Structure 1
Amino acid sequence: MLSVTPIPAFSDNYIWLLRQDTSPDVCVVDPGDAGPVLQVLEREKLHLANVLITHHHPDHTGGLPELIERYGPHVTGPHNPQIEGIDERVGEGDTCRIMGRRFVVMDVPGHTLDHIAFFTAGIPPLLFCGDTLFSAGCGRLFEGTPEQMHRSLQALGQLPDDTLVFAAHEYTLANLRFAAAADPNNPDVAAALSDTQRARDLNRPTLPSTLGREKRINPFLRCADPGVRAAAAAHGGTDTDQATLATLRAWKDSF
């Protein structure tokens, strides 16, 4: 069995740790800081065999040099020469095998142009989506366009509803507060906001989510919904799903 646990980093990052009970070899996803990873590896006597990178931002790559020096893991990441230390550069449709599971790579630009996600089918399916898809939100458009982000989110939305969504940040509570404004008549958003507040009051992670849940509560996956369009209309264009996403993202940036 493959288990996935969060290693908290910085103020709100999660570095995901993949492991099997039968082996000390593990994988981490987006190690922006080596320190927390090293603490877990040393405390639990684990060996870092693999690293997955979703995009080039330093809060996702900053720990690579130290981890490579200490453990020499095989690093898989996007086709971006700006990221040093990658052994295997991958893109849309490529596959890699991690901890006995076959992962398929998806190009999901929008937050950055080099952004990729890693998906593995199975029971349950797992998605490591970096900063493209958050619970109840999506990443800021630092490099890509609303059209690119819309295509990326639509592609992720085609994955099975029981897919576990391992986003890279604990943004759920703030995202749901925005979702309550952007999708005000959605009872699923109201229930999720209450549940999330209780979890955060206990300092519990709100991730992973599931893709089915995100389709019910995430306004960026619900751009065609009449209620979302009506709420967004006062903040910009909503004549297409792409225009609605652009409006939602600009609204969220200043929310």
Structure 2
Amino acid sequence: MKNAVPLPAFQDNYIWSWFDGEAAVVVDPGDADVVTAWLEGNGYPLRDILLTHWHPDHTGGVDALRNRYGARVVGPLAEQARLPALDLAVSDGDRVRSGGEDFSVMAIPGHTLGHIAYVGADCVFCGDTLFHTGCGRLFEGEPAQMYDSLARLMALDANTTVYCTHEYTLANLAFARSVEPDDDRLRQVEADAKQRRAENQPTLPTTIGEQKDFNPFLRTDEAALAEAVSGAVGHTVAPGVDTFAALRALKDRS
């Protein structure tokens, strides 16, 4: 996926959008006006709306866009009672053809219980589960669920492009550096991210390989990170789920 465009919405959302030569696709359109301006400005019709989970900042524009363009709405079967009406309800392992791409649906619960990702040949649209140097809050799920969901994403090819839906990078980096202040990787990534934001450029997308290298929420099996988190919380936590849960709790309080 080389032509996805981030449409900024609200304070820090991105609505990922692309045109395949015939029609456009948008992912998690919380704001219909932002999408409509992009479509009308480029003369694109809208074919599909892909939803990762039910939160209103990801779904608030769906009805207006469907009514205006007749777009098909695809979303998680497990959350259909809380979503706008779905034309295609999908679950883990289902296949979806959209915007010239073949996607596999991956269940990644944690942020919400029915959260899904759309995994393409070289990309993943992962909603609010994985962020640049962070992960989503556990509004509905348990730490073990999110830990397992992140492990599923980590198993994708390192070159997979990650399209997440919030510009949280600088805040995530500030938190990560508070846990690992001597990590040179984080220091360099933070400098690069600050430069991009100073130029009003997004810090996204990223890749699975990049995130596996420095994102602390993907490194909770590492003994060194478990030791750092243990120091931050004031008691020993074991690598793995325990470190992940403690790290997520620290981030929630930051």
Distance apart, 1:85 and its partner CA: 2.0
- Residue type of the partner of 1:43? G
Contact persistence 1:237–1:247 (CA under 8 A)? no
What is the aligned-residue identity percentage? Answer: 46
**C-alpha deviation, 1:11, in angstroms:** 0.6
Q: SS in structure 2 opposite 1:106?
A: strand
Q: 1: CA distance between counterparts of 2:236 and 2:145?
A: 17
**Aligned positions of 1:164-179 closer than 5 A:** 164-179=161-176
Partner of residue 200 from structure 1, selected from 160, 176, 197 = 197
Which SS does the other structure have where 1:84 is aligned? coil
- 1:237 is displaced (CA, Å) by 5.3
Please give the alpha-carbon distance, in whole angstroms, between the structure 2 residues aligned to 1:212 and 1:187.
Answer: 17
Give ranges in structure 1 of 5+ residues lacking alignment: none
Aligned residues: 250
Aligned match for 1:136, one of 133, 138, 143? 133
1:131 & 1:83 partners in 2: Cα distance? 16
- Amino acid in the other structure paired with 1:181: S
2:142 corresponds in structure 1 to 145
Following superposition, the deviation at residue 217 of structure 1 comes to: 1.4
TM-score (norm 2): 0.95
Q: Is the 8 A contact 2:110 2:146 kept in 1?
A: yes
Change (3 A) 1:138 1:176: same
| Distance apart, 1:225 and its partner CA | 1.6
- Which of the numbers 192, 197, 212 marks the counterpart of 1:215? 212
Which of 60, 63, 68 is the equivalent residue of 1:62?
A: 60
The gaps in structure 2 that reach 5 residues or longer are none
What SS does structure 2 have at the residue aligned with 1:75?
Answer: strand
The answer for the alignment partner of 1:253 in structure 2 is 252
Q: Deviation at 1:10?
A: 0.1
Q: Could you tell me which residue of structure 2 aligns to residue 34 of structure 1?
A: 32
CA distance in 2, matches of 1:129, 1:73: 21
Q: Which amino acid aligns with 1:40?
A: W
Other-structure match for 1:13? 13
TM-score computed with the length of structure 1 as normaliser? 0.95
Q: Take 1:90 and 1:185, find their aligned partners in 2: how far apart are those partners? A: 43
Partner of 2:82: 82
The aligned runs of 1:94-243 (5 Å cut-off) are 94-121=94-121, 125-234=122-231, 235=233, 238-243=237-242
Match of 2:14, as an amino acid?
Y
Task: Give the Cα separation in 1 of the matches to 2:125 and 2:180.
Answer: 26
Q: CA deviation at 1:186?
A: 2.5
State the distance in 2 between where 1:66 and 1:85 align: 12
User: How big is each residue's C-alpha offset from its partner over 1:120-162, in whole Å with a ceiling of 9 and x where there is no partner?
Assistant: 01xxx01100000000000000000000000000000000000
Q: Which shows bigger deviation, 102-111 or 82-91?
A: 82-91
Q: CA deviation at 1:227?
A: 2.4
SS of alignment partner, residue 14 of structure 1: strand
CA separation in 2, counterparts of 1:2 and 1:209? 12
Q: In structure 2, what residue type is equivalent to 1:13?
A: N
